[in-house]
Amino acid sequence: MTKEEKLTLKDWHQKNAVDLFNHSWTLIDKKKRTKEETDELIHAAHASRHHWGQIGKPGHFERGEWQISRVYSLLKMGESALYHAKRCLDICKANKLKDWDLAFAYESVARAYYVLKDKKNTEKYLKLASKAGLEIKESGDQDYFNTELKTIKLKAL
């Protein structure tokens, strides 16, 4: 960006929200992270959600909460994962979000319970996620969702 180009406050929040969301995925995909990168991952996911909270819509809020829950699940921080997964699901329900959003909201709750080694609730939310996944309209999105859902392995509990 040149000195002449100026972002509105809304554009600035949106740019940061998107950049931080994408940066979080780069860190999520990393096979080995340093402690500093783990801290950066947590902060980036929360910061992305914060920026969406300033200018976004419910779908942005829900996806931000989903990403934070995914980060905490990845890091085996079950209580934090569950808190954000439930926020994700609450936002979906309150705003009647369906399709991809609702399916992944249920997936995030199942994954958080999986991290907490709560087999009963993991099974319950896996079933809800599977049912919601059938409502995903785009077949490629549905395939991706099902692949992600299969990473939650009940036999390990």
Distance CA 132, CA 102 (A): 7
DSSP 8-class letter at 13: H
- Please check the confidence at residue 68 and state whether its pLDDT lies above 90: yes
**Averaged over 75-92, what is the pLDDT?**
98
**Averaged over 2-26, what is the pLDDT?**
91
Burial of 117 (0-12, 13-18, 19+ CB in 10 A): exposed
pLDDT value of residue 112: 98
What's this model's pTM, rounded to 2 decimal places? 0.94
pLDDT value of residue 69: 98
Polymer length in residues for the chain? 157
Distance CA 41, CA 129 (A): 26
Per-residue pLDDT of 16-61, as tens digits, reads: 999 999 999 999 999 999 999 999 999 999 999 999 999 999 999 9
Distance CA 141, CA 124 (A): 22
